[in-house]
Amino acid sequence: MMQGCFMKTIGIGLAGFGTVGAGVYENLERHRELIAERSGYSFAMRRIVVRDLQKQRDVSAPASLFSSRWQDLLEDPEIKIIVELIGGTTEAFDLTMAAIRSGRIVVTGNKALLAERGAEIFALASECKVPVFFEAAVAGGIPIIQSLRDAFVGNRIESVHGILNGTSNYILTRMQEAGLDYPEALAEAVTLGYAEADPTLDINGWDAGHKAIILAALAYGFWVDPTTIRVEGIDRVSAADIHFAKSLGYCIKLLGSIREKNGKVEVGVAPTLIPLGNVLASVNGVFNAVAVRGDLVGDSLFYGRGAGRGPTSTSVIGDLVEAAHVLDAPRGTFGFAPHALYGSSRSSSEIVGSYYLRLSVDDKPGVLALIAGVLGEAGIGISSVVQPESIAGVETPLVLMIHEAAYGAMCAALAKITALGCVKGEPVLFNVETFS
């Protein structure tokens, strides 16, 4: 029973009743009273859209609510907020644009949609003065969107670093802690349900890539073109490299890096060596974390679960309440405020970073001089060289730590190094991030 203040009921429509959509329905029901007491709003589910009306569901809802046409959401004038949880970038785009045009506030968890078509979506949102909220799209239950957009609005954001994909982080953690190789750790993640049967976007880095683009948009006010950023997954990380990195005082994480440097914005996702003493090194298993550095706030760390029913529906329900507030008192911004204060992004080949380069070489004198010669010609300095013992899968390893080189120059030098007769197999190049 609502105590004290006045309570309002708002009609909503849900597109998608899968992992997240069914969780939103279930948790809106479970915590109906709690949400009403804490927010002053009650949400009335008026329609649920799915692809397959015959499918057995593990969460039950009245059959009369279901439809297989998303257009039905638009045809009910009592639906004021549309929750898009179907995924993908085609029908989800059509639904989102149609919803905005019809004046419905959109709540979405669709990172791919925003990363690829965010500029069009928010241009329309601004034209129609209809917000789009997307807390569930990045790092599941961690309130990083609202924090970057609202809580840190008074800061120049210097950098955002994130462990943004729980599946990859689980696999890397198991490789680090149990000494598993990549295929074994991936198989374990699939068996335990931490990875999809088709985990392509998780392990090729693009799930994290989409999230990094969204974080960059919030921090710097524009949408970076996904085709211009470097996104690498964890499939080339081996137990051997985890072992070598550890002996140098690092662990390997799939790190999303977003920063502003000398007037340009840099965005990328790649396996990255992180000092073992850094707080992000202790983010393990399926957990996510986002470290934000602002000029006023300094360093802040957000940590929590990045996926699953409870965390993602937490974020969607938070957005529903925010949308309800907007229905009562419209705001001047629409979920994302584009601006031109940071100019443009830097191409991945021009981004200067530090690297871990691991080669397998012939065991004979003069090899290091040849490699150092190629790097020297390219103006690339070596900060340290280690020749560890051979271990399974890597004969006569040679590890070079490279300080401050442009990625394009590094790749060009690497092509020459690979062609040297004394270098065997594919070299391995990972970023090194010291957060200084």
Binding-site string for ligand NAP from residue 129 to residue 148, where x marks contact by CB under 6 A and - marks none: -------xx--x--------
Task: Identify the residue among 7, 11, 19, 66 touching ligand NAP (CB under 6 A).
Answer: 19
For ligand NAP, the closer of residues 110 and 360 by Cβ is 110
DSSP result, 244-278: HHHHTTEEEEEEEEEEEETTEEEEEEEEEEEETTS
CB burial of 168-203 (b: ≥16 within 10 Å; e: otherwise) equals bbbbbbbbbeeebbbeebbebbeeeebbeeebebbb
Which residues does 131 contact at the CB level (< 8 Å), separation at least 6?
105, 106, 125, 323, 326, 331, 333, 334, 335
261 is catalytic: no
User: Using CA atoms, how far apart are residues 21 and 352, in angstroms rounded to an integer?
Assistant: 41
Task: Identify the residue among 10, 12, 24, 49 touching ligand NAP (CB under 6 A).
Answer: 49
For helices 166-178 and 182-191, what crossing angle results, to 10°?
A: 120
Query: Interface with ligand NAP includes 164 (CB under 6 A)?
Result: no
* Alpha helix segments (H runs only) across 70-110: 71-75, 91-101
Task: Identify the residue among 30, 32, 51, 261 touching ligand NAP (CB under 6 A).
Answer: 51
Stretch in the footprint of ligand NAP (CB under 6 A) among 51-59, 98-106, 122-130, 345-353: 51-59
For ligand NAP, the closer of residues 140 and 294 by Cβ is 140
For ligand NAP, the closer of residues 30 and 57 by Cβ is 57
Query: Interface with ligand NAP includes 17 (CB under 6 A)?
Result: yes
For ligand NAP, the closer of residues 70 and 336 by Cβ is 70
Region for 146 from its dihedrals, namely left if φ exceeds 0, alpha if ψ lies in -120 to 50, beta otherwise: alpha
User: Using CA atoms, how far apart are residues 185 and 142, in angstroms rounded to an integer?
Assistant: 25
- Among positions 69-98, residues that touch ligand NAP (CB under 6 A) are 70, 85-87, 91
Place of tokens 């020297």: 376
Of the candidates 378, 401, 375, 399, the one whose C-alpha atom is nearest the C-alpha of residue 388 is 399
Least Å from the CB of residue 74 to ligand NAP: 13
For helices 19-30 and 309-328, what crossing angle results, to 10°?
A: 70
Residue 327's H or E segment, with its range, is helix 309-328
Least Å from the CB of residue 61 to ligand NAP: 11
Least Å from the CB of residue 222 to ligand NAP: 22
Q: How many residues bind ligand NAP (CB under 6 A)?
A: 26
Task: Identify the residue among 30, 32, 38, 55 touching ligand NAP (CB under 6 A).
Answer: 55
Q: By Cβ distance, which residue is nearest to ligand NAP?
A: 18
Q: What is the dihedral of CA 345, 279, 115, 320, to 10 degrees?
A: -130
- Among positions 287-346, residues that touch ligand NAP (CB under 6 A) are 307-308, 312
For ligand NAP, the closer of residues 159 and 312 by Cβ is 312
- Separation of first and last alpha carbons in the chain: 53
Catalytic residue among 80, 111, 211, 253: 211
Query: Interface with ligand NAP includes 30 (CB under 6 A)?
Result: no
The contact set with ligand NAP (CB under 6 A) reads 15-21, 49-52, 55, 70, 85-87, 91, 109-111, 136-137, 140, 307-308, 312
Catalytic residues: 211
